[in-house]
Amino acid sequence: MFPASFDYHKPGSIEEALELLTTLGADVKLLAGGHSLVPALKLRLTQPKHLIDLAGIAALKTVAVRENRLVLGAMTTHWQVESSPVVKAALPYLCEVAGLIADPQVRNRGTIGGSLVNADPAADYPASILALDAEMVCVGRGGRRIVHARDWFQGLLTAAIEEHEILSEIRIPLLPPRTAATYLKLRHPASRFAVVGVAAIVTVTQDQRCAEVRIGITGVGSCAKRAGSVEQQLVGHRLDATRIEAASAAACDGLEIDGDMHFSAEDKEQLCRTYVRRALLRTMHLAESGAFQPTRNAP
C-alpha cells in the first residue's frame, strides 16, 4: 500500500512549524511518531497535501520534573516513557502504562502527543491522562493555551486542539502522599488496543478510607471518560470488596457504549463494569500493602 503524494516539511523549531501551519493552507497534517497517521495515509483514509514532521523540534522532546509536575514533551515516545529514569522516579505508574501500549517496535516510534491528539477511542494513554488530571499545553501563533484533561477528549478521534495549534507538552501533577494507581487493560488479542482499559488512582487516609479517587475509562465509548458516578460512591468510604462492587455497577454511566464487530454493547458494558471493579480492587490491594506512588514535594 502506498500513500497518495504529499509534500514533506521538517521544521527545526515550534515557531517554524507554526509558520508552516498557517502558510500552507488547510490541507496539512502534523506527523509525530506516525504510527496512526502513516497507516491512515497508506489506506488513503487521509490524503493531505502537506506533512509537517515534528521530529526535528528538540523543544518537543523534554522529559523533566518541574514544580511538582512531570513534564513530557509531545514527541516523547512510549519507549522513552517506559524506560525513562525521570519518569520511573516521579511516577512509575506511567512507565507501566506506556509498557502496555502496542508492541516494542510501535513503542519505539509512537508518541504521547500523537496519541492524545489522535484521541483513538481504544488508545491506552487517555484513561490515565484523565485519571492523572493532566494538562495539555497547546501553542499557536497567538500564544499558549492550557487544556485540562477533562476538556480534552471531545468525541471519536476528536481532541480539543485547534487547527493552527501544536500540542507542545503534557503536564502531569505528581501525586499526593498515600496514593496508589493501577491501569488494567483487556488487550485485543490481535491489535493490542484496549478493548477496555481502566485507570484507577486512589488516595487513602491513614485508616484506609478513600480521600480522593479518579477513574478513567478507555476502549468502550467514543472517547475516554471519567467514571464520575463510581467516584462519587467511593469518596469518604472504606473501599472493601462490597463497596467497590456496588459502585462499579455505575461504571457505564454516561459512556454511550455501542457494539462493534468484536463485542456486543452488552458484552462491553459487562467488561467495563468488571474492569473498573478489578482495577479498584487491585489499587486497594496496593494501598493496603503500602505500595504507593512517589509523593510530590511538600509545597
Partner 1 sequence: MKRTISVTVNGKVRRESVEPRLLLVHFLRDVLRLTGTHVGCDTSQCGACTVSMNGLAVKSCTILAVQADGAEITTIEGLARDGALHPIQAAFREHHGLQCGFCTPGMIMAAKQLLERYPAPTIEQIRDQLDGNICRCTGYHGIIKAIEAAARAMAEKGQAPTTGS
Q: Which one among 51, 74, 94, 161 touches partner 1, defined by CB under 8 A? A: 51
Tell whether residue 183 is a contact of partner 1 (CB under 8 A).
Answer: no
Question: Between 265-288 and 241-248, two packed helices, what is the crossing angle to 10 degrees?
Answer: 150
**Of the listed pieces 12-20, 28-36, 214-222, 228-236, which binds partner 1 according to CB under 8 A?**
28-36
What's the count of helices (H) and strands (E) in the chain, helices before strands?
Answer: 12, 14
Tell whether residue 145 is a contact of partner 1 (CB under 8 A).
Answer: no
Q: Which one among 164, 188, 192, 278 touches partner 1, defined by CB under 8 A? A: 192
**Of the listed pieces 30-38, 115-123, 132-140, 213-221, which binds partner 1 according to CB under 8 A?**
30-38
**207, three cell numbers:** 485508616
Tell whether residue 190 is a contact of partner 1 (CB under 8 A).
Answer: yes
Tell whether residue 29 is a contact of partner 1 (CB under 8 A).
Answer: no
**Of the listed pieces 35-43, 114-122, 158-166, 218-226, which binds partner 1 according to CB under 8 A?**
35-43
Q: Which one among 12, 15, 39, 156 touches partner 1, defined by CB under 8 A? A: 39
Tell whether residue 34 is a contact of partner 1 (CB under 8 A).
Answer: yes
Q: What's the DSSP call for residue 176? A: P
Q: In terms of CB distance, is 4 or 58 closer to partner 1?
A: 4
Contacts to partner 1 from residues 95-134, by CB under 8 A: 102-106, 108-109
Distances (CA, A) of 199 to 25, 96, 228, 231: 39, 11, 13, 12
Q: Which one among 14, 20, 24, 38 touches partner 1, defined by CB under 8 A? A: 38
Q: Which one among 22, 154, 191, 232 touches partner 1, defined by CB under 8 A? A: 191
**Cα gap 206→198, rounded to integer Å:** 25
Q: What's the DSSP call for residue 175? A: P
- Relative to beta strand 166-173, strand 135-140 is antiparallel
Q: Is 42 helix (H, G, I), strand (E, B) or coil?
A: helix
Q: Is 149 helix (H, G, I), strand (E, B) or coil?
A: helix
Q: In terms of CB distance, is 78 or 214 closer to partner 1?
A: 78
**Of the listed pieces 14-22, 38-46, 64-72, 233-241, which binds partner 1 according to CB under 8 A?**
38-46
Question: What minimum distance in Å lies between the beta carbon of 111 and partner 1?
Answer: 13
234-243: Cβ within 8 A, 24+ apart: 234/202, 234/210, 234/280, 235/210, 235/211, 236/209, 236/210, 237/209, 237/210, 238/207, 238/208, 238/209, 238/210, 239/202, 239/204, 239/208, 239/209, 239/210, 239/280, 239/284, 241/281
Binding footprint of partner 1, residue count (CB under 8 A) = 30
Task: Please name every residue paired with 158 in a beta bridge, in sequence order, or none if there are none.
Answer: 155
Q: In terms of CB distance, is 150 or 188 closer to partner 1?
A: 188
Tell whether residue 289 is a contact of partner 1 (CB under 8 A).
Answer: no
Residues at the contact surface with partner 1, assessed by CB under 8 A? 1-8, 10, 31, 34-35, 38-39, 41-42, 51, 53, 55, 79, 102-106, 108-109, 190-192
